[in-house]
Amino acid sequence: MAARWIDPERIESAIAALAGHGAHGETGVARLVYSPEWVAAQDQVAAWMAEAGLRVERDAVGNIWAYLDGRDREAAMVVTGSHVDSQNPGGRFDGALGVIAGIMALSELRERFGQPERTLAAVSLVEEEASRFPTANFWGSRAIIGRIAAEEPKRLRGYDGVTMAEAMRDAGLDAARIPEAKREDIGTFVELHIEQGPFLERENFPVGVVEAITGYRQYLVTLEGAANHAGTTPMDMRRDPMAGAAEIIGGVVDTAHRMGRPCVTTVGRVNVSPNERAVIPRQVAFTVDARSPLPEQRETLLARHEALIQEVAERRDLRLSLRVDSDRGPVRCDPETVAVIAAAAEAAGVPAMTMTSGAVHDAMQMAEIARIAMIFVRSRSGISHSPDEFTAAEDAAAGIEVLARALHTLAYRP
Amino acid sequence: MAARWIDPERIESAIAALAGHGAHGETGVARLVYSPEWVAAQDQVAAWMAEAGLRVERDAVGNIWAYLDGRDREAAMVVTGSHVDSQNPGGRFDGALGVIAGIMALSELRERFGQPERTLAAVSLVEEEASRFPTANFWGSRAIIGRIAAEEPKRLRGYDGVTMAEAMRDAGLDAARIPEAKREDIGTFVELHIEQGPFLERENFPVGVVEAITGYRQYLVTLEGAANHAGTTPMDMRRDPMAGAAEIIGGVVDTAHRMGRPCVTTVGRVNVSPNERAVIPRQVAFTVDARSPLPEQRETLLARHEALIQEVAERRDLRLSLRVDSDRGPVRCDPETVAVIAAAAEAAGVPAMTMTSGAVHDAMQMAEIARIAMIFVRSRSGISHSPDEFTAAEDAAAGIEVLARALHTLAYRP
């Protein structure tokens, strides 16, 4: 393999250093937004940015920006970055690798090529995982695109009982100033991230070029029947929501399986009431999470799920509540930027596979104000959101070189 | 309708008086074994027994016995009774009606016919519901048949944290003396109970003559797969225990339905780990409660359930733990006693239907040492274990007359 622009050992030691903030066991990280560990990690990131000779700025929500200023101060910026908050606990690569990649890529470009035509920025975003606040996903990127509602900081309460506004104050930030974080000077956003899935490993590619990010809809399905004695109520007279839930869960999983890749449907959460061994339940509530990066496939998948849910509830005489908790269409990456990344991979001699993202990312938010694209790096066994998450330093080095070469094309060409 | 031996209004007021001890809302009762409410209810029962001219005794576990002594002191007793503890909350009829029935029947027999040939006894049993102690079902009847293990009183701990031994002490009883409650002088045990099911109402009979009590097996099924990200793991690569659980739950319910009455299968309890919306679960555990009063049907049902569970787990590559938590074959009522009850119903002009019991009862325990039989009384809408439980006083009066006439045949004939 050709020598990489970035030494894999440097990446390994940066990952290890960042993982020291909020270390969980041998390999895990629990680094919740605005916590002392998170503040320490962001301070480490800011220090690296300054060491790399970049101009460092912190915005009102706590995102840290590092600029390599371009000659043309009027041109829209080319930005890369990701997040340093983690699942509770999660691994050391999810998000963190994209932040380190951005700093290393800009540092390398500055040393190799000096000042760019357009300003390059690396950003360490505030919060992506919603691991401290259940509905605060994408807090940093949402601040940048101006999609945080005025009442949210006081309304959102974390699993620890603290409001978002209080948590921000603890980290030295004033929630009232969040609107100041909004930006309109970003032309392109490229995020490097671990794949979190099994495809690159299975197909034996170190790097993936993402063409689209999945669309999803998340439902809460609540079925209500008649609770009764498990021994005395004959099968043909039951209104059993458990039987209905089993039929629907089996059905939606089978529908997604039969429709084939890339769509997926998951039932991850079930709550039964009264949840007693010898009582036919009164109520069974469960989530359905359905995704596809293909707009038409997503629509077909959702229509089939909804038809099945309605039909089973009606046929089994169960009272149905079907609530949509979140809904987002797929986001296409900018084809021109995708082509730039693919060419960068080829120039770097990095085998790269085009693919879609089944996970959601900050880039999805940024798509509202900028052209976006993503670079994936191979995950071992497809595991993420776990201390077992792992990405080899050689793969990370390949991905970061592809990122740096792509940013070079995007920011240095006249 | 002919005038009944027992005035329905007397039954109604006795039910209401007993329901005053541990009243829950307008119609419910929460009367847990050895609680102050339960002690007050047993004291009320003892007072009624004495008022009826019966000889009253309390045994070591707290069962209250009322005797109408027979001429032949060597002959085995004819016993009737049930329990006064309730679900939490339950209704006012489950158990309580059988206790009141026993006292009223013996009182009536004493007044009409004087001393019997064989001793008649009415018993108010200590605990049937396991509503305070999760595994203490049939505490009173198990003491009588000598099936309480020496270490149980100290080992069993209630939902309130109190051990059985402590609860007994609070009610003035010494757990060390439980073995003294064992009896070997019971020839026949007849229990009157509300049906708790819909059959008598559907078929328009006030009373049922039980020919068999259901057999059951209760499983805990635990399926373990691979937890992973709901977005990034394709359907064809998942080891999803939720999909396996849905297939098994749907399958066991359908198997029981297709095999037809009287077998039933219920999944009442499901626990998912980690139970997160966007995570394919690592583990799904659920109970399966399968019953039939027909020995062969029960065996076929259980064999089909176990084969399905094994097959699904294997095919979906899920790690299976299949634990049997309780297992009891069906209990046949004594045919001769059943015939006596049927004849008593005919003599009383009470339309009675022969049937099986899908619920389990103290009589099932007593079957180990005596001939048993049961008389069911119609339940409104088949509802029980709920404050909505209701049985009309006229139906109760019909049932108690059948009980009294049957006890007359059993205890007075030479």
pLDDT in tens, A318-327: 999 999 988 9
Q: What percentage of residues in chain A have a pLDDT greater than 90?
A: 92
- Please give, rounded to a whole number of angstroms, the shortest distance from the CA of A30 to a CA of chain B: 17
Query: Is the preceding peptide bond at B36 cis, omega within 30 degrees of 0?
Result: no
**Ordered per-residue pLDDT tens for chain B, 414 residues:** 568 999 999 999 999 999 999 999 999 999 999 999 999 999 999 999 999 999 999 999 999 999 999 999 999 999 999 999 998 889 999 999 999 999 999 999 999 999 999 999 999 999 998 889 977 889 999 999 999 999 999 999 998 999 999 999 999 999 999 999 999 999 999 999 999 999 999 999 999 999 999 999 999 999 999 998 999 999 999 999 999 999 999 999 999 999 999 999 999 999 999 898 888 999 999 999 999 999 999 999 999 999 999 999 999 999 999 999 889 999 999 999 999 999 999 999 999 999 999 999 999 999 999 999 999 999 999 998 889 999 999 999 999 999 999 999 999 998
Question: Is A231 within 8 Å of B264 when comparing Cβ atoms?
Answer: yes
Q: Please, what is the average pLDDT of chain A?
A: 96
Q: Which residues in chain A are contacts of B231 at CB distance < 8 A?
A: 196-197, 214, 216, 264, 289, 291, 357-360
pLDDT tens digits along A267-292: 999 999 989 888 899 999 999 999 99
B323-339: string of b/e by CB count within 10 Å (b at 16+)?
Answer: eeeeebebbbbbeebbe
Nearest chain A Cα distance for residue B2, angstroms: 30
| DSSP letter assigned to residue A3 | P
- Residues of chain A with Cβ-Cβ distance to B216 below 8 Å are 231
Asked if B230 and A270 come within 8 Å (Cβ–Cβ), the reply is no
Buried b / exposed e across A70-91, counting CB within 10 Å, b at 16+?
Answer: beeeeebbbbbbbbbbbbbbbb
Distance CA B120, CA B413 (A): 12
pLDDT for residue B137:
86
Best of A159, A277, A284, A356 to disrupt the B interface by mutation (most B CBs within 10 Å)?
A277
* pLDDT band, residue A299 (cuts 50/70/90): very high
Residue B182 vs residues B3, B57, B62, B173, B186: alpha-carbon distances, Å: 40, 14, 12, 15, 11
CA distance B181 to A169: 68
Q: Is A105:A66 a contact under the CB 8 Å cutoff?
A: no
Smallest CA-to-CA distance from A88 within A51, A134, A41 is with A134
- Residue B2 has what pLDDT? 60
Residue (of B230, B117, B218, B136) closest to B175 by Cα position = B136
Domains of chain B: 8-213+330-412 (3.40.630.10), 215-328 (3.30.70.360)
Burial pattern A349-380, b for ≥16 Cβ within 10 A else e, equals ebebbebbbbbbbbbbbbbebbbbbbbbbbbb
CB contact under 8 A, A250 and B247: yes
Q: Is A276's CB within 8 Å of B291's CB?
A: no
pLDDT of A39 reads 97
Residue A275 and residue B281: Cβ atoms within 8 Å? no
Among A228-237, A389-398, B36-45, B46-55, the minimum mean pLDDT is found in A228-237
Element housing B403 (H / E)? helix B393-412
Over range A173-181, report the average pLDDT.
97
Confidence of residue A2 (pLDDT cuts 50, 70, 90): low
The pLDDT, as a whole number, for residue A292 is: 97
Interface touch A253/B243, C-beta < 8 Å = yes
